[in-house]
Amino acid sequence: MPYWLMKSEPDEFSIRDLKKMGHGRWDGVRNYQARNFMRQMQEGDQFFFYHSSCAEPGIAGIGRISRSAYPDPTALDPASPYHEAKARDDANPWSAVDVEFVDAFATPLKLALLKNEPALHELALVKKGSRLSVMPVSEDEWQAILAMR
DNA sequence: GCCAACGTTGGC
DNA sequence: GCCAACGTTGGC
């Protein structure tokens, strides 16, 4: 079973929001590499919920994919900040997945800690200059991160 | 708020 | 197809 990591700005959507709601839609991804990873996700896959662009960037919890990729409705919605004029109902290039809450860490694992963990040196998240917002996590990396809690 | 690094756009 | 200019990401 594959593992993933997905970034979100907690001001927009945080692990607390997901905990409160129980489930949600992961949408608004507008990068092809990230989108392609989303299309590989299967129901039941787990992912680390990463908080970016905030006071304490880091992994804040765990979620699970509850519906595999489908056309992202925000691309077609003129009222959405993620609206894309080029997208059409029958030609929507962007994908969303549905997610459900699994766990919120008592203490988020800060990016600085993750960078110091040798087992994570291949993870795109900690590589210099990487801005990828959706990425695969290997079984070993997944276990290494869990062990850091 | 700054700015380095990146991805995308569009003229040529 | 090249590449400069631009807009975005995201840590600090």
Q: How far is CA A144 from CA A28, A100, A129, A132, in A?
A: 29, 23, 23, 20
- Rounded to whole angstroms, the distance from the CA of residue A55 to the C1' of nucleotide C12 is 10
In tens, the pLDDT along A72-122 reads 999 998 888 898 877 888 889 999 999 999 999 999 999 999 999 999 999
pLDDT class of A23 with cuts at 50, 70, 90: very high
The residue-averaged pLDDT of A20-35 equals 95
- A22 has a pLDDT exceeding 90: yes
Q: Which nucleotides of B are covered by protein (CB under 7 A)?
A: 5-8
Residues A132 and A5 sit within 8 Å (Cβ to Cβ): no
Residues at the strand C interface (Cβ < 7 Å): A 7, 30, 52-54, 57, 111-112, 131-133
Spell out the domains of chain A, with CATH numbers in brackets: 3-141 (3.10.590.10)
Q: Which nucleotide is nearest to A50 (CA to C1')?
A: C10
The answer to whether A131 CB is within 7 Å of strand B is: yes
